[in-house]
Structure 1
Amino acid sequence: MSTKKNLTITMTFDESPKKVFDAVANVRGWWSEDLKGTSNKLGGKFNYKFKDIHTSTQRVTEFIPNKKIVWKVLDSNLSFLKQKDEWTGTEVIFEISKKGDKTQLRFTHVGLTPDVECYDACFDGWGYFVKKSLKSLIKTGEGKPNPK
């Protein structure tokens, strides 16, 4: 049995599952305004680039309205790592569910575990984008993505 723990962030909101889902699907609104491609439908493929530090290509493999979005990382290059393609083959999962009168968002980056080189830096990065930028987009309609 594996004891590896994937990076996971869970948050609860007063907003509806639809509002949370719509915000997650608006990747330009919370991750990067400079995404290339389609990130808001099943089968969509998009590229993320941050300076010369991080580039990656994701495909949307699940898109279940108000419930779940999954991205498969097809290709990645994180220039600050020894193994620059560490994200390649990993999955990024957003699960949305009702918890009483609240909406729970569970973010998991499957394959990003404490034993991989990117874990600490990526923990901080996802922490910012999910806990601050995406949360702000859900609550105020205004995220804090990387600018163009």
Structure 2
Amino acid sequence: MPTQNFSYTFTTSKPRDEVFNLLINPKQWWMGLHDEIITGKSEQPNDVFIFDAGNGVHHTEQKMIEAIPDQKITWEVTDSNLTFADKSDEWTGTRIGFDISKEDHNTKVVFTHDGLTPEFECYDGCSSAWTQYLEKLEKELN
């Protein structure tokens, strides 16, 4: 049985270009729940941004590896320090991204954290946090 990566899907009536332009800047959607600080850039290939949350509990660095306008965004986690996990670098080497497509008269958004699997110590807490951010994003887009 294949390993299941964390994924979250929703649709919005907003056009794909508007959705893409929002998603490519994590400061617009990965904020507002856990005292986040995001620094750096996230829009062009090789851009790097740093995400810190929970007053030092979560620190990750992401590098843009793919950006196809109105279709796909992928960042690779190049460094991680999750102080609440025994293996604090568990996210390093995983990929975070969005696939954006047209579905009927709507825009379908599929978020995947490739490599965040149930085998990870942080899976329950991290998938719960992702769900909070993505539900917030979904509400903002609908």
**5 Å matches for 1:1-148?**
2-32=1-31, 34-50=37-53, 51-132=55-136, 134-139=137-142
SS at match of 2:42: coil
Cα RMSD (Å): 1.3
Identity of aligned residues (%): 38
Cα deviations by residue, 1:22-61 (Å, 9 ceiling, x for unpaired): 1111211111363111012222101111111000000000
Structure 1 segments unaligned to the other structure (5+ residues): 140-148
In 2, the alpha carbon distance for the partners of 1:109 and 1:40 equals: 18
TM-score, normalisation: structure 2? 0.91
SS at match of 1:18: helix
Structure 1 residue 137 displacement after superposition: 3.9
Aligned-partner residue type, residue 43 of structure 1: N
Structure 2 segments unaligned to the other structure (5+ residues): none
| C-alpha contact 1:15 1:138 (8 A) present in aligned 2 | yes
TM-score, normalisation: structure 1? 0.88
Cα deviations by residue, 1:52-71 (Å, 9 ceiling, x for unpaired): 10000000000111100000
